[in-house]
Structure 1
Amino acid sequence: MAVVGAPLEMESEWVKEVKEYDESKLGVKGLLDLGVSSIPRIFIHPPEDLVDLKPSSKSFDIPVIDLSINDRAKVVHQIKEAFSTWGFFQVINHGIPIQVIEETIKAFKAFHEEPMKDQYVWDEKVSYYSNFNIFWSKAVNWKDSLRVFTSPNPPEIETIPSACRKELMAWDEYMKRLCETLMELMCEGLGVNSNRLKELSCLEMRKFVCHYYPYCPQPDLTMGLPTHTDRGVLTLLLQNEMSGLQVKYDDEWVEVKPIHGAIIVNVGDLLQIFSNDQFQSVEHRVLANPCKEPRISAATIFNPGKRGESDYYGPFPEMLSQENPACYRDFIIPEILKQGQTDDSSSKAIVDLFKLKENAK
């Protein structure tokens, strides 16, 4: 919370303002529609989060991988290299028609620009927010988000906003198919059976999150999404052609330059564990948008669907040896759920939770 250590009356007032904003379901777009010309104080991030917002002046670009190349071994090698160094890549020629991509982005934009979102019935499966857990965050993020848990137990279809309902569910299927292909290639790069991640049920638990980053009148005081790593296995991200996403590479922030029709792919903490640190989840963030045109991104996050007390996860045993011992202990998903997630700015949360200090690389 942004006011930790402040007098109780100030802390209480801050909580009150956050609660009123969250319950109004105005969203950041709604505040702009009301005519705000400066950001409310609940959106002001602490100074340590606002240093060095400009990307590196060095000529860095995250890898771009073309799935149409008729050389599987080359693609496998490119993915392994990208995930071992950057933790990110952009994939092109992935088989999803450009028209579908454009219509999908258009539908998500239409939803976020609808007024009166307080008329929807939001619940655990379909929700609308600015921060994952707004009352535990340092500050409110300058964005609006639609979250839908699409699998394995999807919500009633009528609970998904009608403006993007058809496109959202169709997009979920496109992402599932693309992710299955990518997971096979990733497994081959790790030297394990190509179906290994699928057998671990990593296609079964899917969360869709569509972020809307509208114009910010004071982008140097807030963030769209603060520095974090993804906690899951794999994230597939569609974005329109507005900049804002940055990735930490070689201790510098690198802008992920939009490529029309590309899908961004990145390693989550769980995949770093499964790969025994061969693949790296890396910190990334989204700056507040200084442009009049909104930035729109749609992330599909993949996690294991098997979550019982006897469903253990950890580094792939077939990758381990005396020379390459396990860097992490085995665990069950309820251990992660018990830990919870306090805000949108956790980095390496799962990695740190299960790290074996004596074998850390």
Structure 2
Amino acid sequence: MVLSLNQSKYLNKLVRMEESSDPPFEQTYKYLFKNSILNERNIINPTDPPVIEECQLPLIDLSRMNLGESEKQACKKDISRASKEWGFFQVINHGISADILERMRHEQIKLFKRPFHEKTNSKDLNFSTGSYRWGTPSATCLKQLSWSEAFHVLLSDILGSGGYNNLSSTMEQFAAMVSELAQMLVDILAEELGCKSDYFKETCLPSTCYLRLNRYPRCPSYPNMFGIMPHTDSDFLTVLHQDHIGGLQLVKDGKWIAVRPNPEALIINIGDLFQAWSNDVYKSVEHRVVTNAEKERFSTAYFFCPSYDSIIESNMEPRVYRSFTFGEYRERVQEDVKRLGYKIGLPNFLVNSSLDRGA
């Protein structure tokens, strides 16, 4: 059979798409890009506050926890202060070796360099169905589209897996270490509130916590695109290992701040659940990732989450938020995203809030 010139071009395009590692953003969301030209309100960033100069997050050396009681208590105070004032901080000497972090990054890059059609088949990668995600299916305008791809992997799928390949073995080691770090940090933050209990050990289990492996492809055609749109995290605590490229930004004093990458540090941020549990003492801060026109970016995030039936409530009075379960919170987030294109989050659960259907 002899193919026409147009047919040949079409088949070659299909082959390139099949072999490409990048998700088909432009093909899938072409209606959003078309609408952005017709409607200026959909163009990203015309009215956003400007990003002020790049800065370094509060830096905490966790080796101070082993330098005597006085230095240990001072270190805990610094962790608490950063969580109150910034909602973000970074830690060094955190107990996770540079070798593990480097191997994690190496295996992650290899994973994302696979052809797109292979990444969409999670079973071939021994991940649960639905682990691979990209873009924003609910986006109704460019401001709601995230130019990124990710694997969401439950810890229960990693820990005790036996390390059937280099990726799973490295992920298992990384997850075990970062889990211990997260547990130590939430225990410190709870203690600084005067709360000593096994709440987090009992509710945040391997079956409820997960890793998110992120890749942000180059985005030369749309310099104002978000890698991840502005959001707060729906967990207690997030631990992030990022590369040297940069792109993470957060809100501080009403302004967007660009976070200066520190290759030796892990970034920690407070999630919505901890803000509610602490009665607004610790802050879950809005943050985002911006794209890079020339370089791709990789990061690995660990989300410290409870079981869906866990009750989130503060023992401090007067309470800012009513009691709710994590499952209820997740359900409301999904409803808001489906209806509005973004989540409302904690305002849904304010005491006496008109948004709260459960009050």
What is the TM-score when the length of structure 1 is the normalising length?
A: 0.77
- The Cα shift of 1:188 comes to 1.8
When residues 50 and 268 of structure 1 are mapped into structure 2, their CA distance, relative to the original with a 3 A threshold, is farther
The number of aligned residues is: 316
AA partner of residue 328 (structure 1): Y
Instruction: Give secondary structure in 2 for the equivalent of 1:78.
Output: helix
Q: Residue 129 of structure 1 corresponds to which residue in structure 2?
A: 133
When residues 263 and 68 of structure 1 are mapped into structure 2, their CA distance, relative to the original with a 3 A threshold, is same
Structure with greater helix share of residues: 2
Q: Residue 97 of structure 1 corresponds to which residue in structure 2?
A: 97
Q: Residue 355 of structure 1 corresponds to which residue in structure 2?
A: 350
When residues 257 and 28 of structure 1 are mapped into structure 2, their CA distance, relative to the original with a 3 A threshold, is farther
Contact 2:112 2:119 in 1 (8 A): no
Instruction: Give secondary structure in 1 for the equivalent of 2:209.
Output: strand
* Cα distance in 1 between the residues matched to 2:224 and 2:320: 39
Q: 1:198 aligns with which of 182, 197, 201?
A: 201
Q: 1:299 aligns with which of 290, 301, 305?
A: 301
- Superposition RMSD in Å: 3.3
For structure 1, the residue ranges without an aligned partner over 5 or more in a row are 1-20
- The Cα shift of 1:115 comes to 1.6
Q: Residue 313 of structure 2 corresponds to which residue in structure 1?
A: 314
Which deviates more from structure 2 when the two are superposed, residues 47-56 or residues 238-247?
47-56
* Cα distance in 2 between the residues matched to 1:183 and 1:127: 27
When residues 116 and 163 of structure 1 are mapped into structure 2, their CA distance, relative to the original with a 3 A threshold, is farther
Q: Residue 107 of structure 2 corresponds to which residue in structure 1?
A: 107
- Tell me the percent identity: 27
- The Cα shift of 1:189 comes to 1.6
* Cα distance in 1 between the residues matched to 2:186 and 2:129: 26
Question: Residues 272-318 of structure 1, C-alpha deviation per residue, up to 9 Å, x if partnerless?
Answer: 000000001010000011223x210111111112x34xx43211x2x
Q: Residue 262 of structure 1 corresponds to which residue in structure 2?
A: 265
What is the TM-score when the length of structure 2 is the normalising length?
A: 0.77
* Cα distance in 2 between the residues matched to 1:122 and 1:251: 40
AA partner of residue 128 (structure 1): Y
Contact 2:139 2:341 in 1 (8 A): no
When residues 111 and 336 of structure 1 are mapped into structure 2, their CA distance, relative to the original with a 3 A threshold, is same
AA partner of residue 355 (structure 1): L
Q: Residue 228 of structure 1 corresponds to which residue in structure 2?
A: 231
Instruction: Give secondary structure in 1 for the equivalent of 2:299.
Output: strand
For structure 2, the residue ranges without an aligned partner over 5 or more in a row are 1-13, 37-41, 354-359
Contact 1:65 1:79 in 2 (8 A): yes
* Cα distance in 2 between the residues matched to 1:26 and 1:142: 19
Structure with higher Rg: it is 2
Q: Describe how 1:304-343 pairs up with structure 2 within 5 A.
A: 304-305=306-307, 307-308=308-309, 311-315=310-314, 317=315, 320=316, 324-341=317-334, 342=337
Contact 2:58 2:89 in 1 (8 A): yes
